[in-house]
Amino acid sequence: MTRIAALSDIHGNAVALEAVLADVVREKPDRVVIAGDLVLNGPDPAAVVDLLRGLVADGAAVVQGNTDVAVADFDFAAAFPWMIDGVPDAIVDAAEWAHEALGGERIEWLRALPAERRVRSDDTLVLICHGSPGSETAGFDQDLDPSVTIERVARSDARVIVCGHTHLPEVRDLGWKIIVNDGSAGYVFDGDPTASWALVDIDGGEVRAEIRRTSFDTLTVANAISSRGLAGDVYRAATVRTGKLVR
């Protein structure tokens, strides 16, 4: 059997990441995978990157998310293609702040991350991506038309697709493929102010996946965001406190 711990959408929340990793260690996974959106919005992007680089040294697979593109290269059109009227100043300010907080070496590490990784367990292929196969920005939204969902999963031969992007954790078993959206390990939107992640067990041809939740000190993180004083920080802090997107 192969056990995979999956997380994503940390968004600069090192407190939540440390709490999740403590839970992950107790599950003794064979592999840890991280599906992007690592540094934007939260108060400690440098600590997040340092933790992730340590995981990579131990064999973890990390991919880039759309907001990582915004922070690394300020390519806001690529990071937020749906914002056709322009990206709000609050996002630009947060990306510039995170870029400066990370420094040159960490930015180069972030910039060099792949868009996708693949892990194989015997005959079962697992794809790690941020949004969906072939895209960092087109995710598996819960209200997505079923035909679009099928079209997106069909872009990969993987049996298991591990992703994030929506900040809404769920396991969606389509029969021939399984979508494991681990939600967000630091900036979740489903109304439960904890960090979400996923555990995937692959035993022969059988795949079992479940969402896990980890508590962290939301007030400390929210206060750290508020004290930064960037445009939009009051909403980011409220999002962390409530587990709901506030804007």
Using alpha carbons, list the distances in angstroms from residue 247 to 4, 228, 233, 236.
34, 17, 10, 8
Domain boundaries, the chain: 2-242
pLDDT higher than threshold 90 for residue 98: yes
CATH superfamily of the domain spanning 2-242: Metallo-dependent phosphatases (3.60.21.10)
The pLDDT assigned to 205 comes to: 84
Q: At what angle do helices 89-111 and 45-57 cross, to 10 degrees?
A: 30
**Percent of the chain topping pLDDT 90:** 98
Mean per-residue pLDDT, 84-91: 95
* pLDDT confidence band for 204 (50 / 70 / 90): confident
- Average pLDDT of the chain, as a whole number: 97
Note if the pTM is more than 0.85: yes
At 145, give phi and psi (nearest 5°).
-55, 135
The pLDDT assigned to 157 comes to: 97
21-44 pLDDT per residue, tens: 999 999 999 999 999 999 999 999
Mean per-residue pLDDT, 113-125: 96
Name the amino acid, one letter, at 97. W
End-to-end CA distance of the chain: 43
The pLDDT assigned to 121 comes to: 93
Mean per-residue pLDDT, 91-112: 98
The pLDDT assigned to 78 comes to: 97
